[in-house]
């Protein structure tokens, strides 16, 4: 009986801890707000730019993506310029996310997706754009939006 009571109480308290958590931005919300899927040709143009700033909108971590070589647009190097804010270290939902790719990253635009791999993991990104604002959505983030491209 005591084991049953402990199980019930742990379930009740675990649900209560997530009830007040802030919701993440979703792809559906982007589309409802007028964002449209960026075509592959525009992604290629973006990748050919000299510097791309990627901001994690939940943790404020900033990564700068720069060309390794001027003739190959898909080989880029990410340099972390700002670390995550300390409050994100206690959010279990953010800690459970898959990490960014590291090491030598190969990228390829396939249709309307950017496919990135480091040889171990592969992520597919879709970019959504409205005017000059761009958000990136990884396939493994279950429709949640965590990255803004600047």
pTM of the model: 0.77
DSSP label at 130? E
Per the CB < 8 A criterion, the answer to whether 107 and 114 are in contact is yes
Domain spans of the chain?
A: 22-149
Q: What is the dihedral of CA 89, 90, 96, 100, to 10 degrees?
A: -10
Q: How far, CA to CA in Å, does 148 sit from each of 6, 20, 37, 129, 131? A: 43, 25, 14, 10, 14
Q: What does each of the 150 residues of the chain score in pLDDT, given as a tens digit?
A: 656 656 555 554 454 445 456 789 999 999 999 999 999 999 988 887 778 888 999 888 888 877 666 444 445 556 666 666 656 667 788 878 888 887 778 888 999 999 999 899 999 999 999 999 999 999 999 999 999 998
Residue 107: how many other CB atoms lie within 10 Å: 19
Q: What would the DSSP string read from start to end of 99-123?
A: PPP-SS-EEEEETTEEEEE-SS-EE
């Amino acid at each position: 009986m005591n084991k049953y009571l402990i199980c019930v109480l742990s379930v009740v308290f675990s649900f209560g801890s997530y009830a007040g958590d802030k919701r993440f931005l979703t792809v559906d919300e982007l589309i409802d707000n007028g964002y449209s899927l960026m075509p592959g040709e525009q992604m290629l143009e973006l990748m050919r730019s000299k510097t791309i700033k990627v901001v994690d909108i939940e943790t404020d971590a900033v990564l700068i993506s720069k060309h390794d070589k001027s003739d190959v647009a898909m080989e880029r190097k990410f340099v972390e310029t700002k670390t995550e804010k300390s409050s994100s270290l206690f959010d279990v939902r953010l800690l459970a996310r898959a990490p960014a790719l590291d090491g030598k990253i190969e990228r390829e635009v396939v249709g309307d997706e950017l496919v990135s791999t480091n040889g171990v993991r592969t992520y597919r990104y879709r970019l959504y754009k409205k005017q000059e604002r761009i958000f990136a959505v990884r396939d493994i983030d279950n429709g949640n939006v965590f990255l803004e491209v600047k």
